[in-house]
Amino acid sequence: MSEQNYEEVGKIENEFYGYSLFTEVENEILRAFNRAVMSSNILEDAGYAIASEYLSQFSDRDKGVIMAVLAYMKTNGIEKTRKDINANVLGFELKGNGNVAV
């Protein structure tokens, strides 16, 4: 999708220019993983500006969790990250104040 097409498409409740926001996903880590993968795909397909705008849709806490998942993915790869999330054994936990502890 070109940048011109983005201007023609509106924001829908669970979508941002046709990209899912994953608001229906209840598990915070899985939701962050989905958003991390989506933001990486947007960056590759549509560029930095659209990926940045996608990420701006989320709260500071959500962005922090997304960044933690991206860092984990960078270190361990996407498949191990996916497996670890599915097994619920990621190497970090969410604190009540929104900080991520490694």
Express each pLDDT in 18-61 by its tens digit. Answer: 899 999 888 889 999 999 999 999 999 999 999 999 999 999 99
CA distance 57 to 21: 8
Q: How many CB atoms lie within 10 A of CB 86?
A: 10
Please give the span between the terminal C-alpha atoms of the chain, in angstroms, as a whole number.
37
Task: Report whether 28 contacts 63 (CB < 8 A).
Answer: no
pLDDT, averaged across the chain:
81
Task: Report the SS3 class of residue 2.
Answer: coil
Taking CA atoms, 70 is separated from 6, 12, 36, 74, in Å, by 25, 25, 6, 6
- pTM of the complete model beyond 0.85: no
